[in-house]
Structure 1
Amino acid sequence: MLKKLFGTLSAVALAVAGLVAIPAAISPAAAAPPGEAFDPGLIISDSVFFDFGSMDVSGIQAFLDSRVSNCRAVDPAIDCLKSIKVEIPETPATTPQEIGPCSAIPANPTASAAQVIYSVATACGISPKVLITTLQKEQGLVTSTKPTEYMYRAAMGFGCPDSDPGICGKVYVGLFNQVYRAAKQLRWYGNPKGSFTYWKPGRTVSMRFNPKS
């Protein structure tokens, strides 16, 4: 299960608002909306969350490039997110019995992070902005100038349950594995037949605010 689901949604909603595809010139991110504009009943719309075509590979790459001007990584295996090359294994489409759904993803032995994000976003129907935001929220990978191996092992926080944080980074490891499995899980959260029985999409659910929040 993804760690801190609602923290993810809140972070995604704020960041997606200012995360834009950048064709040539890099424009600054838009400021977060004022507090009075926050609607706890509509953190992020489905149309934004599942907009898998909101950025192409070049737009994703341009955004990643804009976040790190001076990469200090010395090991190509754990390079900065904008520069790292990883393997995308041949990945078949999910079956009706699996969490998903995601279409097949072709193999690529030397994929960039932008290609990983785009491939998974397109196959699983998740906005690449959501995936980028989660990579930053969980491990700070988007802006890290010298990532660690652990940051890639637990890139999306998948397999990092709050009930057993010690297992984080020990299963479902690697950039592609993390992004792909997290995207499948996010699709599951949005499926009334597969999501939480008490937080099913399409229903109004009363949730109390923590008095200490």
Structure 2
Amino acid sequence: MKPGNLRRQWRKAGFRQRAAIVAKIVPAVVAAVALIVGLTCFVSWRVEIGMARMAQNQLQSQYDFNPGNIIDDGLFFNGNAMSEQQVQAILDQQGARCSGAKCLKTMTFDTQSQPANEYCQAYDGGGKETAAAIIYKAGKACGISQKVLLTVLQKEQNLLTATDPSDFQFKSAMGLNCPDDADCSPQYAGFFRQMYGAAKRYQYYAHHEDQYGYHAGRLNYVRYNPNSSCGGSNVYIENKATALLYIYTPYQPNEAALAAGSGEGDA
């Protein structure tokens, strides 16, 4: 309806007719406002994503680390990434300085058989399995790269390079159900339970990502430290594997930590 015609109808209309005119116009106005608000939010969202990805690309260029794409899905979910012998070679190399009785490269552990389920294939346990065998078999059973498990093992307890590891380091090897300020859950305590449990947990997260606070294809606020006063930043998570890593450990390194490399940053 043209504005001029609408004004004439309004002047001539009685109360009921005016009410009918309003009833026709209001939904159209509401729809138009909703469309404008929606478009504004969409544009703002795209701008925020663009800014986050630009910052991530700068980190990738400068430090070879992209907080939104830590590892490709294909690499993460590769249970055949390494053989048992290759895992052992890494343990020998990284643990070359360890010569005591508790070196990861020579330690053995009793393991328990695990039935197949929706997340992992069966794990055949036994007595005195080497750490390399456990890492290899857990990764293969649950379809998680042995490289990922080794990386998390070092990140959580420095067990690859530890020269005199403590019992607690083995007990909480992967940090699974072992809060920073508390003891481990008995159900997950011990090297085997930690390793197999972590591999299985990643698959659980993959099947139930929607229940957690980090999602691929979205902006996610990721903190730098358990202490919220240390801040954080928006991260556009590009794939499922990266989302799972944040669900498991919900922190990212800040630029000072990245610049420090293997040293210590300020977070």
TM-score by length of 1: 0.70
1:113 aligns with 2:127: no
Equivalent position of 2:198 in the other structure: 182
AA at the equivalent of 2:218: V
Instruction: Work out the CA distance in 1 between the residues paired with 2:67 and 2:179.
Output: 24
User: Is the CA contact 1:52–1:127 (under 8 Å) kept in the aligned structure 2?
Assistant: yes
Relative to its length, the structure with more helix (as a share) is 2
User: Is the CA contact 1:154–1:169 (under 8 Å) kept in the aligned structure 2?
Assistant: no
Instruction: Work out the CA distance in 2 between the residues paired with 1:144 and 1:129.
Output: 18
Instruction: Work out the CA distance in 2 between the residues paired with 1:198 and 1:116.
Output: 28
Among all aligned residue pairs of Structure 1 and Structure 2, give the percentage whose two residues are the same amino acid: 36
Instruction: Work out the CA distance in 2 between the residues paired with 1:82 and 1:182.
Output: 20
Query: Structure 1 pair 91/134, CA: closer, same or farther in 2 (3 Å)?
Result: same
1:50 aligns with 2:77: yes
For the pair shown, the structure with the greater C-alpha radius of gyration is: 2
Instruction: Work out the CA distance in 2 between the residues paired with 1:35 and 1:208.
Output: 22
1:80 aligns with 2:93: no
AA at the equivalent of 2:209: S
Query: Relative CO higher for 1 or 2, CA cutoff 8 Å, sep ≥ 6?
Result: 1
Q: How many residues align?
A: 167
Instruction: Work out the CA distance in 1 between the residues paired with 2:81 and 2:188.
Output: 27
User: Is the CA contact 1:150–1:169 (under 8 Å) kept in the aligned structure 2?
Assistant: no
Unaligned runs of 5+ in 2: 1-59, 223-231, 234-252, 255-267
| Aligned pair partner of 1:173 in 176, 189, 209 | 189
Query: Structure 1 pair 145/34, CA: closer, same or farther in 2 (3 Å)?
Result: farther
| Residue 34 of structure 1, CA deviation | 4.8
| Residue 113 of structure 1, CA deviation | 0.4
What are the equivalent positions in structure 2 for 1:15-164 lying under 5 Å apart?
Answer: 34-35=61-62, 37-74=64-101, 79-94=102-117, 96=118, 101-161=119-179
TM-score by length of 2: 0.57
Q: CA RMSD in A?
A: 2.3
Unaligned runs of 5+ in 1: 1-32
